[in-house]
Amino acid sequence: MRETPRPRFSAGESGTAHPQHCSSRASAHGTGTLGSGTPHRSDGRSPQTPRGARRPGPAGCFGTTPPVPKQPAFRCPPELSGGYRPRRLAAALALLLLFALVTWQVAAGGPLRSLDERISRTAAGRGPRPFTELLADLGGLPIALPVLAAALLYVRWRQAPGRRYAALRAVLAIVAVPAAVIPLKALFDRPGPLTEATGYYPSGHAATALVAFGAAALLLRPSLPPAARAWAMPAAGLLTLATGIGLVLRGYHWPLDVIGSWCLFGALLLLLFPPEPTEPADQLQR
């Protein structure tokens, strides 16, 4: 059927005209003109919010439609937000369970206590006395406390951001040693290997060495150069192990006294010191 021609009106005439027929769908999407390819735009004006002018969002990516959500005004510092890993929590729980097992064997006189006493009677008095005495003294207050105090002063001098909370944790850990060891010694009242005196479980020297050397390594490790950073914790572990060996060889403690202290206060360090990022390289060169 042939289309009837539409009447044309002049400027002074009034009337209703039918909409003009579009030749194709593609012709309706033009840029500035009919059929040029830009939808919803009948002229050559640029869009009000071009993609190149959009501000990036919080993660550095281009946002969608303004307003883009901003970062929160307050962010919890990472040293207070925890940062505990499941593996770290599992290790602390395992140490606490092992401490409970050792404590039960010591209190009930189980098979572990019998084996512990046989080993101690065989090992006590072995080795050169000056050397074993020196090893045992590593866990004393005259040696362990100055090491931790030097680490605290170093962190304070560097004024590393976020390390003040780690220093507070170290102080809390060393204060927890007498607060936990003294009541436990009075509760279990275990006699010593070479004496009839009691109050030997758990070992205070072993606990002091573990907390002082371990906390000092945890404080200093983020500030050390990469070459020395990997040796901080092994050095602390070696000093702690040497202290325990010296205590057993000198006959100051049973082996389970030392192992119980390591389990209890090793779990404490794991819980008090979550993993923390290392300092940037520019701060290490100050």
Q: Is residue 111 situated within a structural domain? A: yes
Section 42-69 average pLDDT = 51
Q: What is the mean pLDDT of residues 211-240?
A: 90
Task: Evaluate if residue 196 carries a pLDDT over 60.
Answer: yes
Q: Evaluate whether 159 touches 167 at the Cβ level (below 8 Å).
A: no
Which distant-in-sequence residues (6+ apart) come within 8 Å of 127 by Cβ?
249
Nearest CA among 214, 208, 200, 213 for reference residue 257:
200
**Crossing angle of helices 204-220 and 255-272, rounded to 10°:** 30
Q: Is residue 204 part of a domain?
A: yes
In a domain, 237, yes or no: yes
The verdict on residue 81 lying in a domain is no
Report the C-alpha dihedral over residues 147, 83, 279, 210, rounded to 10 degrees: 10
Q: Confirm whether pTM is higher than 0.75.
A: no
Residue 37 forms part of a structural domain = no
Q: Of 161, 174, 164, 279, nearest to 229 (Cα)? A: 279
Q: Does any domain span residue 280?
A: no
Query: How far from 262 is each of 136, 158, 206, 251, CA to CA, in Å?
Result: 15, 30, 7, 18
Range of the structural domain that residue 102 is part of: 86-274
Stretch 79-98: mean pLDDT, rounded?
78
- Mean pLDDT, residues 57-82: 48
Query: How does residue 226 score in pLDDT terms, banded at 50, 70 and 90?
Result: confident
Q: Count up the domains in the chain and report the number.
A: 1
Residue 270 in any domain: the answer is: yes
Q: Where does the pLDDT of residue 165 fall: very low under 50, low under 70, confident under 90, or very high at 90 and above?
A: confident
pLDDT tens digit string along 17-30?
555 555 444 444 44
List pLDDT tens digits, range 182-195.
999 999 999 999 88
| 189 belongs to a structural domain | yes
What confidence tens digit (pLDDT) does each residue in 233-286 have? 999 999 999 999 999 999 999 999 999 999 999 999 999 987 655 444 444 444
Q: Which residues pair with 62 in a beta bridge?
A: 56
Q: Give residue-wise pLDDT tens across range 96-110.
A: 999 999 999 999 999
